[in-house]
Structure 1
Amino acid sequence: MKITRTIKHPQLQETVYLAEAGNGLQIALIPTPGFHTTSAHFGLRFGGNDLRFKMPDGEEHQVPTGSAHYLEHKLFEGREEKVFDRFNRLGANFNGGTSFCTTTYYFSTANHFDECLEVLLDFVQDPLITEERVDKERGIIEQEVRMYQDSPGYHGTFLLHEAMYQSHSVRVGPGGTLEDVARINATDLQRCYDGFYVPQAMRLVVAGDFDVDEMLQKLQPLLRTDETAIAQRISDDATSVRAHAYLEEEFAVTRPHVFIGYAQSDLATDGQQRLQRRIVASLVLDLMFGQASQLRKQLYDAQIIDDSFGAYWSSDQTWGHVIMSGVCDEPKKFVEDVTQACAEFIANNIKQEDFERLRKAAWGGIVSGLQTPSAVASSVLSSMLSENEIFSALDELQAISLEQLQSATEQLFDPSKRAVAVLTPKR
């Protein structure tokens, strides 16, 4: 196993060494001299959205919602001992997570790194999935899903997803529905594992104070030797046809919770383009609704919004949207006032000085978020799984023009794409 490419970013003063194992596993090593902790992040592009796929032998499968998240839980169980117990005994901080599109497992430690690395690669590459084990975990996962569904923010967000999208797996959270969790079985999870947890689909990132050649030597005997092909995703249609302009449900809240969404029709399938759009959309939303923005202050002073108000961008290959949300007393007026404020902001155009001020703040935010080995490893893994150039966010940020930002603002808030979801107090 040899280094195939070296990436140096002079402004961040970071160097990434990329290597490929014989089985196709992509590896990134980032030496961070002087740090006491070392972090390893292991992940793959498989998440809650991946419900239909074709195996290398041509056989197609469809699994219930929540399967990727359920599989993550089963890997945590380990073959003979729970993985959390193994890491705790070694004094390491460990966790994992499943999103719409990815699953990741990671640890940070100041001691016993070699043993922790062996644990990480062991439980991810060699799980034991049986019906008995799957049934044993079901109650825990159902409890976790209920906890999410009891949250107004979570419930309202996915009610809005149902309004924005006619038929897309993003309508359901990565944890799945209770009905689907109840019917997931060992065969479903084994198919997911066999199709996607293969070396060619996995990405491993290690950051810390180490010698690169020595780290490669440590990794070699811990890796699987098979070269299994990856399953082919059968993706949802990349459509943003609105299912409903307005949805409303009663919920356990004392005041109405309102969610406003704008699904996007012009989607980027290229990873670098998605990064560009994420940066542009984030800048637009910060300009409009950031804590220091004039528009937010105006809405706040007029008592249209309060501290509960927020806005964010989310996207992947087959979906993308802006969501704004807040708590209010009059949902209809809230939607009208916020929508009108957006229209006025777009009509007035963005000022160059506001753009430059925000760009500098965003630059500082990116740099300050990469101050530990764990943060650096997480960022690099995210880039590898998203298929964008490592550490290119700063370059993309610098390349954005005011004209791009203004054009994006007009596209993001297309009135024909707007959908609204409201949670009202139970009567």
Structure 2
Amino acid sequence: MSFTLRSKQVHLPQGPRPATLTVDGERIAAIGPYDAPCDTDLADLALLPGLVDTHVHVNEPGRTEWEGFATATRAAAAGGVTTIVDMPLNSLPPTTSVAALREKQAAAAGQCFVDVGFWGGAVPGNAGDLPALHEAGVFGFKSFLVDSGVPEFPPLDAAGLGLAFAAVDALFVVHAEDPAALRPAPPSRAYADFLASRPPAAEVSAVGTALSAAATAGARVHILHLSAADALRLLRQAREDGVRASAETCPHYLTLDGLAVPDGATEFKCCPPIRDPGNQDGLWAGLADGTISIVVSDHSPSTPALKRRDSGDFAAAWGGIASLQLGLPVMWTAARERGFTLADVVRWMSTGPADLVGLRTKGRLVVGADADLVAFDPTGSFVVDPSRLYHRHPVTPYAATPLSGVVHRTWLRGAPVGDDPRGRFLRRDVH
């Protein structure tokens, strides 16, 4: 299939401008002037590269009742996300060996509406499995420095992290909270009680541990879902010292107010937690100066029963926010209010995540790249209706929230995403 489409706002690496894109098969074949002949005129709709979300928990196989590849990837496409990288938990088995990776891929086969890559897991005792798993195509390795919430994916201590770093030259992505700095969370419907149990100091300490281990081993480390702005100074210093370190944050940390969470509203619970507005300002400053390079969902759904919505007990509820379909409008709404541009959002949510994992043909509108495209109305608006979300359980802290920006159409490798799940598996060493 070959076709052309144009927009007055095509988001190219050099910045947005009027242009016409020619798509030939699955790739972008040419980028020409706006007044060139075209098949589809998007007019005032912005044309964006498909979003790349490198932090998604699909949970299949084993916990498909929480989520699954069909539902997660359909939600992704509806939100303008054309590539996801699946976390090694909370599936059963977790992706900590080549055999487990093959089992996950078999479960996902024929179900994916977007392209899918996979993280491997680094857990106690599997350092010897990491080279083969890396060779099998995973994009790197996820580890926890604190209880993951599931027994089959235990945390590493500092020594274990060092062993993993030494086992393979790979990208390591780390959930950085220090268990020694956490406090017991009492049974409570008050979010403040939960928030007090996971202070910023727990993140700062664990980020320091990860950066120190990376410096010793010469490893590449990426800090996942940073919520404590106090840790940014450590990242800045580590980079100045030559450590290969990067960090991400998530839409909920940048937009939701931890001081305003209603009693019993466990849909707001995640780990690390949503903090106060002053801390949020610090995270935005980290984005502005590049200390935080990407924004991803950390889509971590569960069944409504596990969220304990009946009791509203934050201590007992599963910690995770499902937002895969909403990340683009959530971020655009907040970014615009803070003086950022849509080009900034594209850098944080498309190009940056693709660069993190080495996907050179994703997340950018350039000749030769995959024709992963999003027609987006930055002036449109809507109110979040959970019944219109595609992920398996429509539990969201954004319910009834007015948002700016509407996804009109998503193309995956040159074809509009529809009812045909034509997503492919991605390998670290191919793209």
Please say whether Structure 1 and Structure 2 have the same fold, judged by a TM-score greater than 0.5.
no
Q: Given the two structures, how large is their TM-score scaled by the length of structure 2?
A: 0.26
